[in-house]
Amino acid sequence: MAVQEHPRRLSPTARRLWRAALVLYGAAALADIAWHLAEDTRAGQDWRAPANLVVAFSAGLFWPVDLIAEYLLSG
């Protein structure tokens, strides 16, 4: 089975930009996870409970959608 190469190589600048975007997305995801776990703690729940960890991880992974949902649910 042959392995196909990507038809167009990215320039070093484009690679740096993609890497910076990925790092920023990851940092925002970690911040959202921490925020959700802190909310669980403030609500008197155990943040180490598996259900809370799953929700926090899912919200962190899809943090742009989570921000929109939080805004719509708060109104």
Q: What is the mean pLDDT of each run of 10 residues along the chain (75 residues)?
A: 74 94 96 94 93 93 92 89
Give residues with Cβ within 8 angstroms of 46, minimum separation 6: 40, 52
- Supply the pLDDT for residue 62: 94
- Supply the pLDDT for residue 63: 92
Q: Are 32 and 59 in contact (CB under 8 A)?
A: yes
Whole-prediction pTM: 0.78
List the chain domain ranges: 20-74
Q: Angle at CA 73, nearest 5°, toward 34 and 48? A: 30
* HSE (side-chain half, CA atoms, 13 Å) at 47: 13
Question: Which DSSP symbol is given to 62?
Answer: T
